[in-house]
Amino acid sequence: MAKLLCSFYIITLLQLVQLVISKREIIPTPPLPVLPLPTFSQLKWQQRELIMFLHFGVNTFTDSEWGTGHENPAIFNPVELNTNQWVTVAAEAGISLMILTAKHHDGFCLWPSKYTNHSVIGSPWKNGHGDVVQEFVNAAKVGGVDAGIYLSPWDKHDRRYGQDLAYNEYYLAQLQELLNKYGSVREIWFDGAKGSNAPNMSYYFSDWFAMVNELQSSINIFSDAGPDVRWVGNEQGFAGDTCWSTINRTSLSIGNESIVEYLNTGDPRGTDWLPAECDVSIRPGWFWHKSESPKKLSELLEIYYNSVGRNCVLLLNVPPNSTGLISDIDAQRLREFRSAIDTIFSKNLAENCYIKVSSQRGGKGGGFGPENLLDSDHLWTYWAPRDEDGDDHWIEIWGKDEVLRFNVIRIQEAIGLGQRIKRHEIYVDHKQIIKGTTIGHKRLHRLDGGTVHGHVVRIRIRGSRGVPLISSIGLHFDPFWHPNFI
Ligand SMILES: *[C@@H]1O[C@H](CO)[C@@H](O)[C@H](O)[C@H]1NC(C)=O
Ligand SMILES: *[C@@H]1O[C@H](CO)[C@@H](O)[C@H](O)[C@H]1NC(C)=O
Ligand SMILES: *[C@@H]1O[C@H](CO)[C@@H](O)[C@H](O)[C@H]1NC(C)=O
Ligand SMILES: *[C@@H]1O[C@H](CO)[C@@H](O)[C@H](O)[C@H]1NC(C)=O
Ligand SMILES: *[C@@H]1O[C@H](CO)[C@@H](O)[C@H](O)[C@H]1NC(C)=O
Q: Which of 413, 434, 451, 403 is nearest to 43 (CA)?
A: 413
What is the arithmetic mean of pLDDT over 275-282?
98
Distance CA 113, CA 123 (A): 13
pLDDT band at 486 (very low <50, low <70, confident <90, very high): very low
- pLDDT of residue 197 exceeding 60: yes
Round to whole Å and give the CA distance between 15 and 17. Answer: 5
pLDDT at 1 over 60: no
- The fold of 349-476 is Jelly Rolls (2.60.120)
- Please name every residue paired with 258 in a beta bridge, in sequence order, or none if there are none: none
Alpha-carbon span 259 to 315, nearest angstrom: 20
Mean pLDDT of the chain: 95
Stronger pLDDT, 28 or 19, i.e. the higher one: 28
Percent of the chain exceeding pLDDT 70 equals 94
pLDDT of residue 392: 85
> Do residues 105 and 50 lie in contact, with contact meaning Cβ atoms separated by under 8 Å?
no
Q: What is the mean pLDDT of residues 376-392?
A: 90
pTM of the model: 0.94
Selected residue with higher pLDDT from 13 and 257: 257
What number does CATH give the domain 40-345? Answer: 3.20.20.80
The residue ranking higher by pLDDT, 486 or 399, is 399
In the reported structure, the alpha carbon of residue 116 is separated from the centroid of ligand 1 by a whole-number distance in angstroms of: 7
Instruction: Indicate the angle between helix axes 132-143 and 83-92, nearest 10 degrees.
Output: 40
Residue 23 has pLDDT above 80, yes or no: no
**Of residues 15 and 427, more confidently modeled:** 427
- Residue 202 has a CB neighbour count (10 Å cut-off) of 9
Q: How far is the CA of 481 from the centre of ligand 2 (A)?
A: 50
Q: How far is the CA of 259 from the centre of ligand 3 (A)?
A: 7
Type of residue at 322? S
- C-alpha dihedral over 315, 321, 324, 329, to 10 degrees? -80
pLDDT at site 402: 86
DSSP for 115-141, please give it: T-SSBGGGSTGGGGT--HHHHHHHHHH
Does the pLDDT at position 176 exceed 80?
yes
Matching fold, domains 40-345 and 349-476: no
Mean pLDDT of 279-292: 98
User: Which DSSP letter does residue 162 get?
Assistant: T
Measured in residues, the chain has a length of 486
How confident is the model over 466-480, as a mean pLDDT? 97
d(CA 325, CA 452): 43
Amino acid at 357: V
The CA-atom distances, in angstroms, between 104 and each of 38, 220, 320 are 30, 20, 14
- Is the Cβ–Cβ distance between 160 and 199 less than 8 Å? no
Does ligand 2 lie within 6 Å of residue 195's CB atom? Answer: no
- Would you kindly state where each structural domain of the chain is located, as residue ranges? 40-345, 349-476
Listed residue (127, 126, 102, 98) closest to 116, CA to CA: 102
pLDDT of residue 390: 75
Residue 462 has pLDDT above 90, yes or no: yes
pLDDT at site 101: 98
End-to-end CA distance of the chain: 81
HSE-up (13 A, CA, CB side) for residue 450:
5
Grade residue 362 by pLDDT with cuts at 50, 70 and 90.
very high
Mutate to test the pocket of ligand 1, among 117, 118, 159 (most ligand atoms within 8 A of CB): 117
Strand duo 456-464 + 408-413: pairing? unpaired
Using 50, 70 and 90 to split pLDDT, how confident is the model at 27?
very high
- Which among 398, 415, 412 has a CA at the least distance from the CA of 445? 412
Please check whether residue 397 is in contact with residue 404, taking contact to mean a CB–CB distance below 8 angstroms: yes
Provide CB contacts within 8 A for 13, sequence distance 6+.
none
Contacts of 90 (CB under 8 A, 6+ apart): 52, 98, 143, 145, 318
CA of 270 to the centre of ligand 4 (A): 6
pLDDT of residue 387: 84
Residue minimizing CA distance to atom 7 of ligand 5? 327
State how far Cα 177 lies from the chain centre: 27
